[in-house]
Structure 1
């Protein structure tokens, strides 16, 4: 039970980077970008094939993010310059990326089990410090269980995810970031102020898919393989993380909203892990569980708000009646 929860938190932190990318496109730019399902695999495939061919893991990961950024920019160009509907441009790019990803990888699945990945490097560096053995000896002395071998990965990825979160917050406060937010709110107003909304949309969708591809590259190295179908339904997972996070933690400011997205991604993975421990549910039911979670996250706040409004009306009516009696 504890190990499954630990694994859920571990993967949730990595998926949170993807959720931040989805947040930028769907919430900030109000752009329904379905490129995510393809760019996630692009990041994973580029990183995997690069590592297999001897490229250092850090460079391979960054290369995957850059190619994902370029894919997002193409989606933005299709929408802004080609005048294609936002939803359709994302679908077209997602379809095109399936074949492109297969070309990049050369085969449906690329294994990295025998390769040196970023996580293996981090684990070996940490093991060389001797701190892991020291902490485990203390825990064993007090009768506690040993730390999971990947606990340092959780801490390091948490730091990386928080760094990306703070960079996103800072970017949203810059002149370009403010213009990006304003474009999502009202494009006509930005055009009337001589703002280049086409450029802002292209850059925004590019950054969004760059983060998604970065997450894909890390997930591939975490799992030890990249598969051409691993991105199916990724947009739903990203939306679930955003919606759950906003429902649980709020979205009053950009800083709170991005932190809520990270929390939502972790909560989502934990709920899925707990759900799969139920006897009648199987791993194939994961998409169904995701749909139920999204529905609950969307409906629950509205139901609670409706109850509050009803209670407020009843209290107001009771106060009016009381005054009338007097």
Structure 2
């Protein structure tokens, strides 16, 4: 695999690290299976692309995309909390509705950003090769997002949100407004995914209505893979695992596609994705079995 292909995989891995952090909030912190992200990522991409083409500053456009994603998450959480619709069904309904909303926002199936200024444009004059600039910028953005999320989850509000996901009945007994925490958490989750979508559109040179298909699978695979490769005993380690899991996932895809001995091509990407998700889902169980066997063997020796 060439250096450019390797850095490209790191670049996309960092980008989807933001998606993994958003999925972590909904699936792990709130225990809320949220499929809205398949619609909120193209929503963020579409909002940012539309505003940039209209002449809005790329940084403001990206911020607007974040808040648009928050609104999508709020709708899903509101359907669940206020209308008592099952969380999974609520997210599916919002995801379906977002397809039409995204078309309304964009006005057409795709928007090109070729020649338009982006958040990466100011860093192109640093004198570095183009294939180094984007990964470095994304690394700074992802690290900043991780630190902010860590700070939030360790705050009083973050602790209340974690308690809501762990045991809603106990959280309510402690005076926590679990509905409000759910609204806030799902909004933040989809805001981060939409933020990733806005960066993705500027990175790839355009937004497309179908770019969110399968995002939830990639995000969940990154979370599970990260938990399999490192300890997640603390929030700081858990969020780091999400980012590392996303990078490892993209590297595995890149290696598989670039390994001539396997004979895989670009059209095999979905197959590779499915196989990697299966591996990510089974790794934690295999680790537990191995640890139990090790403990049993050690106990036998001591006797």
Where 2:130 maps in the other structure, the secondary structure is: coil
Where 1:118 maps in the other structure, the secondary structure is: coil
Q: 2-side partners of 1:25 and 1:165: how far apart?
A: 15
Residue 160 (structure 2) pairs with residue 179 (structure 1): yes
- Counterparts of 1:44-83 in structure 2, within 5 Å, are 44-83=45-84
CA 1:32/1:51 → structure 2, altered by over 3 Å: closer, same or farther? same
- Counterparts of 1:99-110 in structure 2, within 5 Å, are 99-110=100-111
Deviates more, 1:191-200 or 1:55-64: 191-200
Contact 1:12 1:266 in 2 (8 A): yes
Superposed CA offset, 1:258-301 (max 9, x none): 11111111111111111111342222222221221122122133
Contact 1:25 1:32 in 2 (8 A): yes
- Counterparts of 1:142-291 in structure 2, within 5 Å, are 148-279=129-260, 280-291=263-274
Superposed CA offset, 1:59-118 (max 9, x none): 111111110011101110000001000100000000000000001001101100121122
Partner of 2:296: 313
Q: 2-side partners of 1:264 and 1:304: how far apart?
A: 16
Deviates more, 1:178-187 or 1:114-123: 114-123
Contact 1:13 1:262 in 2 (8 A): yes
Deviates more, 1:12-21 or 1:151-160: 151-160
Where 2:258 maps in the other structure, the secondary structure is: coil
Q: What is the Cα-based RMSD across aligned positions, in Å?
A: 1.4
CA 1:287/1:319 → structure 2, altered by over 3 Å: closer, same or farther? same
TM-score, scaled relative to structure 1: 0.89
Superposed CA offset, 1:35-70 (max 9, x none): 000000000000001111111100111111110011
* CA deviation after TM superposition for structure 1 residue 317, in Å: 4.2
Q: 1-side partners of 2:61 and 2:101: how far apart?
A: 17
Contact 1:22 1:235 in 2 (8 A): yes
Q: 2-side partners of 1:161 and 1:318: how far apart?
A: 46
Deviates more, 1:109-118 or 1:23-32: 109-118
Q: 1-side partners of 2:245 and 2:167: how far apart?
A: 27
* CA deviation after TM superposition for structure 1 residue 122, in Å: 2.6
Where 1:110 maps in the other structure, the secondary structure is: strand
Residue 10 (structure 2) pairs with residue 29 (structure 1): no
Contact 1:179 1:190 in 2 (8 A): yes
Contact 2:4 2:131 in 1 (8 A): no
Residue 103 (structure 2) pairs with residue 120 (structure 1): no
Partner of 1:304: 287
Q: 2-side partners of 1:37 and 1:98: how far apart?
A: 9
Superposed CA offset, 1:100-158 (max 9, x none): 0001001101100121122123314x3xxxxx2xxxxxxxxxxxxxx631312222221
Partner of 1:143: none
Where 1:230 maps in the other structure, the secondary structure is: coil
Contact 1:123 1:150 in 2 (8 A): no
Q: How many residues align?
A: 300
Where 1:178 maps in the other structure, the secondary structure is: helix
* CA deviation after TM superposition for structure 1 residue 306, in Å: 1.6
Unaligned segments of structure 2, at least 5 residues: none
